[in-house]
Amino acid sequence: MEDIIKLLNDFFQSEVEAAAARNVPNIESYNNKLDVMNDYVVESLKNRFGMIPMKELSPDDYYERVKSFPIPNKRYLFKIDKYKTSGGKFIYKCLVSKSNPRRPRLFSLFIVEYIDEKLKIQSFFNFSDKGMGGEKKWYYIGGSEDFMHKFNGEYLLNEEALGEKIETIRLLEPVSVNGDGLKEYHKD
């Protein structure tokens, strides 16, 4: 699973570089860095991570305000589960933090797979209770809908569609305020 770890670390670094470039008055540099970041995801996930291509610069006072901002932090990678689908493909469920995290808290899930012999992030979910204080679930954010299903009006991760789990690696235990993140991290 070293190739999955490398892909995700490269994506996390490109996300940081694009976010940092957004705060510099250079449209071409920012858009180029965003293109690099988008190379790691399927078409339907491009520009779905809080950044879109710029067509014009922000007002000058914006760049003045953000010039001393620190470089954003990279996401954390917590766990990777390898699955074999009913069609015989291998896919990877990757538990990660949010972008620019202050602490290593579980927040997002990426589904990664080889598409045309190239690894790509193909689906994106967030771990949330939707502000209701109940059980947290994996809510679909975007990308391929192959591993998403609608349940009681909510678009959620369809764990059964992932197939048979054949391997798990745990890389970093997340910090958890209420235990939900740890429970998900330790789930077999």
> pLDDT tens-digit profile of 112-129?
999 999 999 999 999 998
Boundaries of domain holding 18: 2-66
Segment holding 82, helix H or strand E: strand 77-84
User: Residue 98 is encoded by which pair of tokens?
Assistant: 């949010």
d(CA 124, CA 41): 10
**In the listed set 40, 66, 92, which residue is the last one of a domain according to the structure?**
66
Average pLDDT estimate for 160-184: 91
Q: Looking at residue 179, what is its pLDDT?
A: 79
pTM: 0.94
Q: What is the DSSP letter of 72?
A: P
Residues 144 and 180 in one domain: yes
Residues 53 and 111 in one domain: no
**R_g (Cα) of the chain, nearest Å:** 17
Query: What is the number of domains present in the chain?
Result: 2
Residues 39 and 81 in one domain: no
Give start and end residues of each alpha helix (H) in the chain. Answer: 2-21, 27-38, 60-66, 180-186
Residues 103 and 46 in one domain: no
Across all residues in the chain, what is the average pLDDT?
Answer: 95
Question: Is 139 within a domain?
Answer: yes
Please answer whether residues 77 and 55 qualify as being in contact, where contact means their C-beta atoms are separated by less than 8 angstroms: no
Residues 105 and 62 in one domain: no
Residues 110 and 181 in one domain: yes
Residues 172 and 108 in one domain: yes
In sequence order, the β-bridge partners of residue 62 are: none
